[in-house]
Each structure stands twice: as C-alpha cells, then as structure tokens.
Chain A
Amino acid sequence: MKEVWVLPTSTLGPLGPSLQQQLLDRGIPSTVTVTPYGEFDRELLDPGSRYNRFRADLTVLIPDTHDLLAPAFEAPITTTDRERTELVDHAVARVSAAVYAASRNSKEVLLCNGTFPPKTALGFMGGDRRLSPATLVFAYNDRIAALGAENVNVTLVDYAGLVLAEGYDRWHDPRLWAHARMRLSRDGVDALASALARVAAATERQPCKCLVLDLDNTLWGGVLGEQGIDGIQVGGEGIGAAFVTFQRELLELRARGVLLAIASKNDHDDAMRAIEHHPGMLLRRHHLAAVQIGWQPKAQSIRAIAETLGFSTNALAFVDDSAHEREAVRQELPDVAVVDLPADPADYVAALRAFETLDVVRVTDEDRARNAMVVAEGARAQLRESSVDVEAFLRSLEQVAVVSAVDDATIGRAAQLSQRTNQFNLTLRRLDAASIRRAIDAGALALLLRAIDRLGDSGLVAFALATRGTQTGSWELDTFVLSCRVIGRGYDTALLSELVGRLRNLGCSELSARFVPGPRNSVCATFLADRGFVALEPNAYHLDLRKSDVTFPDYIVVRRESP
C-alpha cells in the first residue's frame, strides 16, 4: 500500500479519491491524503505536522502559480516592476523549501510546474511582456525546473502543458474558487489525477525497450506486395505526409533510447529495398535494431526479435494497423504490450503518445547511447523455432469463407486481384475483366472468396479460375490468387477445396495445375504439393479427383452464395 500525500496551495480535496482510483487502475494500491487550503507551507516545514510525522512513498507538490503569483495574475496593471521581481523570487524560495522538505521525507516527489493565465485584466495587451503574468510564469518555471534536476527523487511534471492540452476554461471553475477556494473543475481534477497516476506509474515501471513495427499501412500507406515500391505512400503531401510524421515520432523515441524493430509479412528483399531506397522514408536500415520479414506468424517474429536483442518479450511493444495481427499477438504473447493504432494514419502519433508503456520521466545518457550500442554489436542470434500455436489462434477468429461464382458485380474485383497480386499468385497470369468474361462464357469455373471473421469483414480476397481441358473430365487451374492481407489464415486451402468440390460436381475427374515461379511468389511454391497434388515434372502438378480431395480447413465455416 503506497502512502501518497498531495500538497496543493489551494483546495484540491476531490483529487484524493480520483487519484487513488487512477493509481489502482495502474496496479498501484494507495491511500491518498490531500492537505487543505492554506496548509502547504506549514505541513511541509513544521517538523511536527501530520505530513512530517509519517514517511511518504510519494509526495505530489502542486504549487499553483495562481496562488504563488496572485497579485500579478489578478492585478497585472497595478503591480509594479519591483513587486513582480519579488513575487518570482519569493515563489521560487517557497517552492525550493517545499521541495527540499519533501525530498527528505518522501521516496518520490512529483513537482508540478506553473500554469499560464490565458486571460487577465490586460485583455488584448496580454502580449506586453513587461505587464503580462506569463513572463513571470516562464521565469518561475525555469528556476524550479532546476530543482527537479538537482534532486534524484524529484520528478518535474509539466502541469502547464496538461492544462494547455485540456483547455484552460475546461480545467478551471471560478464558482468553486468563490465557494471553497478550489481552482479546478471536476474535469480538471480527473484529468490531473490521470496524468499524475501516469507519471507515478512511469517512475516505478521498467519502460518499454523496443517497439516492434509492422510495415504495410503502419510505416507507409498501401501494401508493398500489391502496389510495389512506387505505389506505396510515404513522403510528399496527403496521406504520405502522415506516415512521415509518424516516422519522425518513432525516431524521437529512438533518440530517447527505445529500440526500433520490424516484424512484417512481406517479401524480405522487396521490403528492405523499400526501407533503404524509397525517397520518402525517414526510417532506414541503420535505425533498426532487429528485422524479421517473412511469412511466419508475427508472434514468432517478435520472439525472435526479443532473442536477438537479449530482452524478455515483456520489454517489447507491438505496433500494427491490422486488428488481426494485434489480436494474434495478444493471444500468443500476452506480456507484449500492443498499441492499438487508430484507423486514420494522421492519428498514429497521438495514439503512440497516449500509450503509457512508453512513458518515461527522464532520459539518461545510457538511454541515448543504447541504440548505438545495439546496432554496433550487430548481434544477430540464430532464430529458434518457436512453438506458436497458430491453429488455436485461427480457431479463435471464427472465420467464415463466403464463396461465390464471379458475376457482373464482382468481375472487376476478380481482375484486380489477378493483376495486383504478386505474392500468393500461382501462375502469375494477369487477366482483365474481358478475358475472365470470355473464359466463363466458354464454360470455365470462376470463384471469389470473401473473408469474414469476428474482427471484421476483409472483403473479396481470393480468386480462382479453372478452365476445361481438351479431354472430357480434365480441367486446368488457370489462375489462383490470394491477397497478402490474409496469407496464413487458411483461406487458400478453403478456396482450393471448394473449387475441387464444385469441379467434381461438373464432372471433372482430373485437375492439372502449374506453379510459375516469379520474383515474389515463393510464398506459394509448395502450396500444391502440400495440398496433395502430385508433381509430374518440376512445377507441373496433377490431382486425381477420383482418388483424392483437398480437405476444407475445419477452423473455417463455408457459406455458398450461388451454386
């Protein structure tokens, strides 16, 4: 049980229960005592005071500049220059004495800096630095910041910044000042409690050491495997600029000592080329402490990164735009913190700043040097096979495959999948809508698969086209593509199984298929062999439908929309 004391210069009693709750929400049980109005100096300086008779674990000092510099705030025009100077000197002396006392009685001390009055009797003359109380607050804040640097157990809280972010008028309630000498509003009290609890938690916690980042739609816009290096969006104006802003924030975190690593499902060489050579990228290979790019599950990549860096996985946080990947990592590695990126990339920075696992209260020289050390060492431990339970994850997704024959409404998407898919593309045939239409008219079977699960609808993500061969009962697999968004979730097997079943109903007895190797489609090189197709010669396969079948994955439910 943490003994917490809050010493404000005005009434702040309602902060007590609110702070106690916020600390508890962060796993810190506490008893919070808030000293009453007018007791700030006496409680701290009188050796016989209630505060000094107990030893505190955490002391929060909230000397409000509205109180410390009251004459300059309330009567800026009538306050003389000399009075202004004395006010600041006196305020700094008061707070120095308070910090000195608190840092001796308490394990940790949080010191709030002073807030600025946005409106005073000066009205539009507020910009006059000789009259404005803001000038005094700047001077005062400068001087008390030194107190935080001098005492190892004193942490400076940027209270002024908090009030700015929340809005001065929302933060304050003049009625309560008149009624009870309390300056803050209910909302202000709650926002302050939450911020103080965040800082208190950060002083105790080991901060996150490494951010593991996805690539597609996380560091750049678009899907590299579909759009190519020239098609992804990073840099320039519009959405590309949002990703640059996000990368700049990541580099700031790196400068603060957070290592950056990549875990991406992509073609390794293509992805490295984009990182190293795309003109819009700020983040380059030399910023990265570890890289895992391939088709393995992300949990496996994260374990490998932890091993490479010599951390346990609880020192890592995972950043990915895909709710599926986040869910998979949450299930497989519950001790890895997961950042829920919002839908709009322009909001990514705010999400990162709200992510409390990254909170630190001070940056050490060692923090600044950490990246250089890790990268210089170049330690790349051998990856170990991890025992990730992929099937349990897939089962938990409650996946549904909606399979339908291509029709006029969907033929455009079928063509798009055929033309854009570079990775999971068996034959690398590029079909336009007209040629798909001609094939269907000639009796071909064309199927689309739509992927839905409890996390959402991924849309039409797979397309297969089988054409009639020259001999009765023989068919050929002309095209088989799967969007890289859903690779590794079993939809490839689902579509193949469904295709084979329907072909059998059409009187098909044997299906021949080819794998055409290209620069990027190695992900599906063994797909046919793994599903029971027999290799007649390299990359040419055959399935005898009278003897064999392709088993539908039992963790996907099929829905048929048309015969």
Chain B
Amino acid sequence: MDALAPLLAASINAGTPLLLAALGLLINERSGVLNLGAEGVMLVAAAVGFMAGYHTQHALLGFLAAAAAGMLLASLFAWLTLVLVTNQVATGLALSIFGSGLSAFIGQAYVGLSLPTEVKGIPLLSHWPVLGPALFSQHWMAYATLLLCAGIAWFLFHTRAGLVLRAVGESPESAHALGYPVRRIRWLALLFGGACCGLAGAYLSLVYTPMWVEGLVAGRGWIALALTTFATWRPMRVLLGAWLFGGVTILQFHLQGMGVTLASQILSMLPYAATILVLVLMSRNPDWIRLNMPASLGKPFRPGSA
C-alpha cells in the first residue's frame, strides 16, 4: 500500500484548486447567482498571483494579490448582474472570455519564468509533526482550504447568516419582503466567490505547476462549476468531488507510468470526460436536482419589480 500514499497526496494537491473554486461557486449559487466566469477569474488570478509571487518572493502575497484580483473581477460581474440586471449566463461567458484574454495579455512577459523554491515554503505548518507522507506533505494552502470547507459547512447550516444566504437563494422575493438586503447579500457572496476563485487560480500558478502559461487553468473553472451540481450544493460533498476529480487528473499520469499504451492526448481527456459523466449521472433525475438546487439560481432579481 506504499504506492497509494503518493497517489493520494497528488490527488489532494490536484483537487485543492478545484475545491477552492467550487466552494466559492457554491456560496455564489447558494445566494442564487450563477457565475460562469469562474474560468476567467481563475486565469487572471493565476497570472496576477504568479506576478506578485515572482516579484515579492512570497507565496502569501501572491495569494493575497490573486484574491484581490478575483474580488475585483467579481465586483464587475456583480455590478453588471445585480445593478444592471444583465443575463447571468451571458455575463459569466463575457467574464470568461475577457479573463482568458486579459490573463494572456498581462502574463505574457512571465511565460517561462520559474519561482524560487522559497515562495512555496510553509512558514508555520512545516514544523508540525509529520504523521504520513500522504496527508502532511501538502502546501499550507491545502490545509487552509480544508478549514475553509469545514467553515462553510458550519456557516451555511449552523448560523443565522448562512440561513439568510440560503433564503436569498431560494426565494429572493420572500427575503426582500422580510427586509433582508438581497442585492447586498448577493454582492458579498460574489465577492467571496471571486476571492475563492482567485486563490484557486493562484494555487495553480504558485503551488501546483508552479509557473504561468497561457490557458493554465485548462477548464478547471468549468469543472468546479460542475462540481457544485455533483455535490448537490453541499460543502462536504464538494470536498469529496474535488479530491475524486484530483484523483482522475492524477490517474492519467499514473496510467502512463503503468504502461497503458493509450496516447497521452486520449488520457488527458479523462477529467473532461469524467465531468460529462458526472453531470449525466447527477442530472438523470430532474426532480432530485430541483429538490437540491437553490430555487432562484440564475434568475435575476430587482427589488421592487416583483
């Protein structure tokens, strides 16, 4: 079973950016907003995070810059969808197209550069006792993400604010009638989601690869969107799904190592094919999805219009 430990460690490493992004999107969708811009936000944040990490030589500053970039793009999305009541699907697509262009534009001078190993360093947790190579060899951000996941689960189902957030996602009209500021709550949810997607992008460029190339995110933003459906909008199931998908990503490299003779391009299709498979399995029963999905997901809300 010794061979399993590195596989597990690599799966967690590959699953962490998916988990971060999917948690952010989960909060967005629980508030009733569908943000298809995750891919674009992750791309820009990956570029910004790498640039900041490269210049400051600190991973933490890279992550902070990426989170700020994510929040900036999220507020653009929020302003369009919440204030100008634009179509959420179209605006999300615009954000993804804009993000892929902008990231390639700003990151071009950084292609081929590498980060010094100090940036990947673990300032505090590296001194913790090492219980096993599989679970305790991760970057500190991977552990922070686990805490975040537990925190979100607690927030959504055990706090009043979490209840209000879910209420806004189920029926913004009722929440509005009760006096809750629907738009402000959605705006905050989007900012949080933007920060999470930003951290996810930075994890890819600072920890996972670590480098910047055009199109670095390679569809992980879209896979994270599918993960929220897979998880029926529950944080702990997002965790499971993210690690599972991390495993699928890792599997393609191990299959090649194990002497599977398929071409590398065919094996690289695995995560995308798995996403489609998962969507099909989860969506089979529309009643079940309807039961779990935030009822107002993707529907615009304008106070005073209902």
Q: Decide if A and B are genuine partners.
A: no
- Residues of chain A at the chain B interface (Cβ within 8 Å): none
- Residues of chain B at the chain A interface (Cβ within 8 Å): none
